[in-house]
């Protein structure tokens, strides 16, 4: 008979039951594995938070500015927009970035145009409306 006392590897409580048992309950098992994956999860969580914030800023700016939805790059940065985080590039311009369904087209003048997009394409009906109305 095995007289070695087994303990939970998370909380060090005495284990009862199966000989290959490592944790006293599901809470300790989850806590142990979450602690191992914490640095990786923090990185992913931080990037997702930055992408979500960028999208929210673009959406609010798009809705609050009249067409053609142009703002200065500094204004976006003051709102907290971080150009380093984007989900994809837009095909429309060499300096076009998108966060999910909203994008930024950078212009050499220091201004940028906020656009709605589908995939890596700017929504054509939106561009046509802007050109018809202001073009």
pLDDT in tens, the chain (135 residues): 455 789 999 898 999 888 889 999 999 999 998 888 887 788 888 999 999 999 999 999 999 888 888 899 899 999 999 989 988 888 755 678 888 889 888 888 888 889 888 765 666 555 444 444 433
CA gap 51, 33 in Å, rounded:
26
Omega within 30 of 0 (cis) for the link into 41 = no
- Asked if the structure places residue 7 within a domain, the reply is no
How many domains are there within the chain?
1
Tokens representing 134 are 């202001």
- Angle (nearest 5°) at CA 80 between 60 and 52: 60
Residue 115 domain boundaries = 26-134
CA dihedral 62, 68, 72, 77 (to 10 degrees): 20
- Asked if the structure places residue 30 within a domain, the reply is yes
Report H helices in the chain.
26-64, 73-79, 124-134
């Amino acid at each position: 008979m095995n007289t070695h006392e087994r303990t939970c590897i998370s909380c060090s409580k005495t284990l009862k039951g199966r000989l290959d048992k490592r944790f006293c309950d599901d809470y300790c098992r989850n806590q142990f594995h979450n602690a191992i994956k914490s640095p990786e999860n923090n990185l992913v969580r931080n990037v997702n938070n930055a992408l979500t914030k960028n999208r929210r800023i673009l959406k609010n700016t798009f809705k609050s500015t009249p067409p053609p939805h142009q703002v200065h790059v500094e204004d976006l940065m003051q709102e907290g927009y971080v150009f380093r985080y984007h989900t994809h590039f837009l095909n429309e311009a060499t300096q076009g970035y998108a966060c999910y369904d909203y994008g930024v087209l950078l212009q050499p003048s220091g201004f940028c145009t906020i656009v709605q997009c589908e995939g890596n394409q700017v929504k054509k009906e939106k561009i046509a409306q802007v050109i018809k109305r202001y073009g």
